[in-house]
């Protein structure tokens, strides 16, 4: 039996199956990235819901595994050398799971770094910029009389979509014919942009047909359909 009792997070979210990878998350775009990867790889895992409405992410237990108070985080009881490993940051987790399973990351060294660069494109650009647009377009920021902040993020979101549109012009997925961690990182955010953030019109999403095509392909994968509701909201 794997013993995870040394991890404070397990005091708040006890592991019923400590031999499985433990996922602490919420089905936001960053959470969906990792739940998608877990569903795609078939790794046994146990999901735990981190509720933002009760500030679970600010508790000492969660901060012990994710000091930046962001979801998702994992504990792998069978980490490197057979020892448990805790990780936060969705991009780092995707790379780790790809390396652990040998799946969804190119094996050719040059192509591997190319995939990682597109993963970083999401981490440094798509996620933060789409998130800011969501704030200024849908949430409290929409009440600001000065629309320059909103328009700044609209323009940057369009630019990022344009980068993706060009990349996907002659490709089934970001890396070509192979579906990778780059797609798992980018397309939950595109879905959120045109869905939850209700920004389809303001970013003129019809101007990006290749992005729309690949988003549709992403959302038809049964693994993705399941991942969109993991962990289930209580």
Whether residues 157 and 202 share a domain: the answer is yes
Is residue 85 assigned to a domain?
yes
| Percentage of residues in the chain having pLDDT higher than 70 | 99
Question: How high is the pLDDT of residue 191?
Answer: 98
Residue 1 has pLDDT above 60, yes or no: no
Whether residues 92 and 138 share a domain: the answer is no
Whether residues 133 and 98 share a domain: the answer is no
Per DSSP (E only), the strands in the chain are 21-25, 45-49, 73-76, 85-88
Whether residues 65 and 166 share a domain: the answer is no
Whether residues 59 and 96 share a domain: the answer is yes
Six token digits for residue 4: 């995870």
Q: What are the tens digits of pLDDT across the range 23-48?
A: 999 999 999 999 999 999 999 999 99
Question: How high is the pLDDT of residue 161?
Answer: 98
How wide is the angle at C-alpha 217 spanned by C-alphas 229 and 168, nearest 5°? 125
Question: How high is the pLDDT of residue 228?
Answer: 98
Whether residues 26 and 88 share a domain: the answer is yes
- Three-state SS for 85? strand
Whether residues 92 and 121 share a domain: the answer is no
Domain endpoint, select from 103, 121, 140 = 103
Cβ–Cβ < 8 Å for 33, 6: no
Per the confidence metrics, is the pTM higher than 0.85? yes
First-to-last CA distance in the chain?
29
Half-sphere exposure for 153 (CA within 13 Å, toward CB): 22
The dihedral sign for the CA sequence 207, 222, 72, 172: negative
Number of domains observed in the structure of the chain: 2
Question: How high is the pLDDT of residue 3?
Answer: 86
Is residue 194 assigned to a domain?
yes
Listed in sequence order, the residues at least 6 apart from 26 whose beta carbon sits closer than 8 Å to its beta carbon are 49, 50, 51, 52, 71, 72, 231, 233
Whether residues 93 and 125 share a domain: the answer is no
Confidence label for 97 from pLDDT (cuts 50, 70 and 90)? very high
CATH number of the domain that 55 lies in?
Answer: 3.40.30.10
Residue 79 has pLDDT above 80, yes or no: yes
Domain extent for 47: 9-103
Is residue 228 assigned to a domain?
no
CATH number of the domain that 210 lies in?
Answer: 1.20.1050.10
Cα–Cα distance for residue pair 65/54, rounded to 1 Å: 18
143-172 mean pLDDT = 97
Cβ–Cβ < 8 Å for 5, 64: no
Domain endpoint, select from 36, 71, 103 = 103
Is residue 181 assigned to a domain?
yes
Domain endpoint, select from 103, 129, 148 = 103
Cα–Cα distance for residue pair 154/157, rounded to 1 Å: 5
Cα–Cα distance for residue pair 218/37, rounded to 1 Å: 12
Six token digits for residue 160: 């990022």
């Amino acid at each position: 039996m794997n013993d995870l009792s040394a991890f404070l997070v397990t005091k708040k979210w006890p592991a019923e199956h400590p031999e499985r990878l433990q996922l602490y998350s919420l089905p936001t775009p960053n959470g969906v990235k990792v739940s998608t990867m877990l569903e795609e790889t078939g790794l046994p895992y146990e999901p735990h819901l981190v509720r933002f409405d009760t500030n679970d992410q600010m508790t000492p237990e969660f901060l012990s595994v994710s000091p930046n108070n962001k979801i998702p985080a994992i504990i792998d009881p069978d980490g490197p050398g057979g020892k448990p490993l805790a990780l936060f940051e969705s991009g780092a987790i995707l790379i780790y799971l790809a390396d652990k399973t040998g799946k969804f990351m190119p094996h050719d060294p040059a192509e591997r770094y190319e995939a990682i660069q597109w993963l970083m494109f999401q981490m440094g650009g798509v996620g933060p910029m789409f998130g800011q647009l969501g704030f200024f377009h849908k949430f409290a920021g929409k009440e600001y009389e000065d629309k320059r902040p909103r328009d700044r993020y609209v323009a940057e979101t369009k630019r990022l979509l344009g980068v993706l549109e060009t990349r996907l012009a002659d490709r089934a997925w970001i890396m070509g014919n192979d579906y990778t961690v780059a797609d798992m990182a980018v397309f939950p955010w595109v879905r959120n942009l045109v869905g939850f953030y209700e920004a389809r019109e303001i970013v003129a999403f019809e101007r990006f047909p290749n992005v729309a095509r690949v988003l549709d392909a992403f959302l038809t994968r049964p693994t993705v359909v399941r991942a969109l509701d993991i962990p289930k909201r209580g």
